[in-house]
Amino acid sequence: GPARNISYSSPALAELGGVTQVLVVNEDTLSGHSLGDGALLWEHPWPGNSSGDSSASQAVPLPPAQVFVSKGYGVGAALLELAPRAGGNCDVREVWHDGRLLRTKMTNVVVLDGLVYGLDDGMLECVELASGTKRWKEGRYGHGQLLLAGELLLVCSEEGELLLLEPSPERPNAVLGRFQALEGKCWAHLALGGNLLMLRNASECVALELPR
């Protein structure tokens, strides 16, 4: 396929439309590539410039044939659907796109029970995946990060506060517990292995043992 500049988002392995592929957020497109030789299977415009309105959020594969993608800078969120063609290539259809939803500047989203939870320009927002309908928006955490732990949400705010939330389409921002885990700007993603949670920023790292 044609040469593309990369974004700040990492590639992801996915099986979509019955095809195992590598999902890539490029500088100004989203694309799927053959696992064997990297051949371009499909591509969709996704505006961005890596020195300005760059993309950093991961695209989320949603088998059997959908992809959710989001970013900041007014681009918002979109749900795409792939339709396989003969030879392994795919046609791409935009199910919905809304520039006012889930403007995830540097953060990733969590998908649970048909809902997307993400930080829309720093505020926690819940959106129906199928329709792009906003259910609620409440709680200002800055450009932090979210992680799904079982059926609960772990949120690390931009200021290093760690929160445990119960996600619900009806009950906004249900905080079960919170404490200050790190000092200073926290933009890095959380990592959870078993009940050990790792968080870091530019100057320090912490490992936390969570209750099982």
What pLDDT, on the 0 to 100 scale, is given for residue 1?
A: 65
Write the Ramachandran bin of 194: left for phi over 0, alpha for psi from -120 to 50, otherwise beta: left
Nearest to 176 by CA among 142, 211, 129, 205: 211
Nearest-10 Cα torsion for 72, 160, 10, 83: -50
What pLDDT, on the 0 to 100 scale, is given for residue 177?
A: 93
Q: How far is CA 44 from CA 28, 153, 203, in A?
A: 9, 30, 38
Positions in the chain short of pLDDT 50: none
